[in-house]
Copies of this chain bind each other. A is one copy, B any other.
Amino acid sequence: MTRIVVDAMGSDDFPIPDVLGAVMAAREYGVEIILVGDESKIGPVLAAQNPGTLPIRVVHAPEMLTMEDKGMALVLKARRPNSKNSMAIGIDLVKNGQAEAFVTAGNTGAASVTAYFRLGTIPGVDRPGLTPVFPTASGSCVVLDVGANPDCKPENLLQFAIMGSIYAEKVRGVTNPKIGLLSNGEEAGKGNELIKHTYPLLKDSGLNFYGNIEGKELIGGKVDVAVTDGFTGNVLLKSSEAVAKLLMDKIKEAIQTGGLRTKLGGLLVKPALKGIKKMMDPAEEGAAPLLGVNGLVFIGHGRSDANAIKNAVRVANNAVKANVLESIRTAIEQSLKK
């Protein structure tokens, strides 16, 4: 039975969504859950769920990392062997083989840094890549990196491509995933210096390289994996979410401030729009893997609800069962032999 650690102190409304989502996941997916966090806070929430004989146990962590944890102080907490926060203790459970994956809805930076220092990277991977799934016109696209590495080298982007390809294939079920290099134009010569130097590496990589793509092709669903540096990826992620939110807000506003006809129409289309909102909702995917660290780590939105946490556990479970970590290890090893 897959054992998955869930950070009970992760989400904005911790520990309720985190514990509820974990219980739901244990019920639905038959995974073993280790809740890590403040026992006194987790206990009552967990008890209220009547977990009965569900395979859920609690590992106490007296401290937690918050949005305030950053910079050098964070690095020190991430590196200290006896750190007592829920992320460090949870990730150590994966490191020591007591669990196969770690899921958190906490501070993305804190989780990434903690995972990076405690697990290290897979041999041959210089930098891990945070890898969310974007909704697209044809389904979805895995994008990395979206924030872990603001400054990248071409080799980093090649590693992202290898890891993203495996993730798309093994976890998202895409056969021979198409890889796009995010640029400011589709032609081969387009891009900044980083892109121009990355292009030939991807072309010779043996991967199913589609070529350069613009934001339009990414969202249009032309590729299964889009590779970018963490700075551009972060701008892409944050602005895409914000545009979708702005549009939905404006539609809501237009309906609410409209006349009677509009309001009535709004009521009638509401169920259909709900489907759209769900499609654009990152909570549906649950969490993004931090690919390249030596262990499976999934990081979700702070505003995750119980459903998002449950979905994060589902995705983590799929990644464990698909043996993603070993596949990445092998693929990177082979790429180094070239």
Contact = CB atoms under 8 A, between A and B. Distances in A.
Interface of A: 70-71, 135-137, 147, 150-151, 182-185, 187, 189-193, 195, 214-216, 218-220, 228-232, 234-251, 254-255, 258, 261-262, 264-273, 275-276, 279-280
A302 to B, nearest CB: 13
B265 A231 contact: no
Contacts of A276: 247, 250-251, 254
11 contacts: A184-B234, A215-B238, A218-B242, A228-B235, A235-B235, A240-B243, A243-B244, A243-B247, A250-B276, A251-B276, A258-B271
Nearest to A268: B265
A70 B189 CA distance: 11
A71 B185 CA distance: 13
A272 B262 contact: yes
Contacts of A271: 258, 262
A242 B258 contact: no
Contacts of A185: 234
Most buried by B among A262, A269, A280: A269
Given A219-B245, A251-B276, 16 more contacts: A183-B231, A184-B235, A185-B234, A192-B231, A216-B239, A235-B235, A247-B247, A251-B251, A254-B275, A255-B272, A258-B269, A264-B265, A265-B267, A265-B272, A266-B268, A269-B269
**How many identical subunits does the complex contain?**
2
A267 B215 CA distance: 31
Contacts of A193: 150-151
Contacts of A71: 189
Nearest to A109: B185
A219 B231 contact: no
Contact of A239 (B137, B239, B255, B269): B239
Contact of A215 (B136, B184, B236, B273): B236
Most buried by B among A136, A216, A220, A261: A216
Nearest to A266: B269
B238 A239 contact: no
Contact of A247 (B189, B228, B248): B248
